[in-house]
Amino acid sequence: MDKVMLVTGGSRGIGAATCLMAAKYGYKVAVNFRSNREAAEAVVTAIEKDGGRAIAVRADVSSEDEVMRLFASVDEHLGPVTALVNNAGIVDQPSKVVDMSAERIGRMMTVNVVGPFLCAREAIKRMGTEHGGQGGVIVNVSSGASNAAGNGGANTYVDYGASKGAIDTFTEGLAREVASEQIRVNAVRPGIIDTEIHASGGQPDKPEKAKSKIPLGRIGQPEDIAEAIMYLTEARFTTGAFLDVDGGV
């Protein structure tokens, strides 16, 4: 059976690095993106240049209709997914909770939480042995910001931290729920990684500022997280596991 990986938000950052690494592991790769088609196509071209197979598929993971179309497109062009990486995620401008609009909080939860639920639901229908599948794996991209014992994103994005806390609980629960269907569910919790997400949240210098507090003495790169995602994808007796990849913070 072909190994088919769908990476949500595969066009840039951690998702793009994961797509490229997955192709080297022999996966056919679906590179999902929301708006940056050029970036997604560049990932596809790089995979094809190396002899791999990939497609770019536009879909906003927060839209149920678009998620349905995303999975249908992967079915048609690559075959049913055997690995899902719930990677697409957003941050927002630094803000205290007292100043947050319902629209902002809703968007954060819809993209970062509802999206992964919808994608997992569609993946289970294809992977689950009770649904005629042969098993598979889901890797959720959480964040060190999910740690309620840490600062929870205080003063900047408690909404984001809470959305990732939900992803941790989702991972725990879903792993138990679908284990008998031979679907493994794991999560990676990145520390501060050098991607464009920080600029999109109005903090472009966040990685550089954090560098001195990282025990390994450098800022994390997308490939550092891709490596952990591929480990959790391939580790066949590992489910309900969390991997903190943060340079030792």
Residues known to be catalytic: 160
Is 89 a binding residue for ligand NAP by CB under 6 A? The answer is: yes
Residue recorded with tokens 């022999």: 26
In angstroms, give the least distance from the CB of 32 to ligand NAP: 6
Task: List all residues 6 or more positions away from 56 whose beta carbon is below 8 Å from its beta carbon.
Answer: 11, 31, 32, 33, 37, 40, 41, 43, 44
Q: Which of 195, 224, 228, 243 binds ligand NAP (CB under 6 A)?
A: 195
List the one residue from 141, 185, 229, 230 that touches ligand NAP (CB under 6 A): 141
Closer residue to ligand NAP, CB minimum distance, 133 or 167? 167
Q: How many CB atoms lie within 10 A of CB 166?
A: 18
CB of 107 to ligand NAP, least distance (A): 9
Half-sphere exposure of 183 (CA within 13 A, CB side): 30
In sequence order, the β-bridge partners of residue 244 are 189
- Region of 19-27, 94-102, 171-179, 192-200 interacting with ligand NAP (CB under 6 A): 192-200
Query: CA gyration radius for the chain?
Result: 17
Residue 166 sits in the site that holds ligand NAP (CB under 6 A): no
Residue 44-83 contact track with ligand NAP, rule CB under 6 A, x = bound: ----------------xxx---------------------
Q: Which is nearer to ligand NAP, 88 or 128 (CB)?
A: 88
> Which residues are near ligand NAP by CB under 6 A?
8-9, 11-15, 32-36, 39, 60-62, 87-90, 111, 141, 143, 190, 192-193, 195-197, 200
